[in-house]
Amino acid sequence: MVKYSSQMLNRTFAALADPTRRRILAHLARGDRCVTHLARPHAMSLPAVSKHLRVLEKAGLLRRRRYGRVHEMQLEARPLKQAAQWVEEYRKFWEGSLDRLADYLEKTTQPPPKKRGK
């Protein structure tokens, strides 16, 4: 069993729950990028993108380095590892889906605790 920091997972999953932020991460996966570059494909203002970057940064999903006025962002995937491990604990459930369907059918034909007849 793996131990997780709840706070960390909160931030990580919350960061991943936004499609703009996922797209930003996807871009960073192809190399380091500055803010303006990351903003270009997104139909929103620069401050909006700036906020998304701050969320990702707080979640530890990117690292920022300044070269003069240019902020260069680098993907930092470690929190994703934690998230992946958390989700991984449930793998048996999505892999055992047929068994669970069997359970389900069994239960619906003969309903569980305290309930009899229909």
The length of the chain is 118
* E-strand stretches of the chain: 33-34, 62-67, 70-75
* E-strand stretches of 5-118: 33-34, 62-67, 70-75
Residue 37 touches DNA, criterion: CB under 7 A: yes
Q: Which of these, 31, 19, 105, 9, lies nearest to 75 by C-alpha position?
A: 31
Out of 10, 36, 45, 50, point to the residue binding a second copy (CB under 8 A).
10
CB distance 41 to 17 below 8 Å? no
Q: Which residues 41-80 are close enough to bind DNA by CB under 7 A?
A: 43-55, 64, 66-72
Report the distance separating Cα 21 and Cα 1, nearest Å: 30
Q: Which is nearer to DNA, 54 or 81 (CB)?
A: 54
- Per-position x/- string for 64-103, each x denoting binding to a second copy as judged by CB under 8 A, each - no binding: -x-xx-x-x-xx-xx-xx-xx-xxxxxx-xx--x--x---
Binding range to DNA, per CB under 7 A, among 37-45, 76-84, 86-94, 100-108: 37-45
Choose from a second copy, DNA, none: what does 77 bind? Cβ within 5-8 Å by kind. Answer: a second copy
CB of 43 to a second copy, least distance (A): 15
CB distance 4 to 78 below 8 Å? no
Residue 57 touches a second copy, criterion: CB under 8 A: no
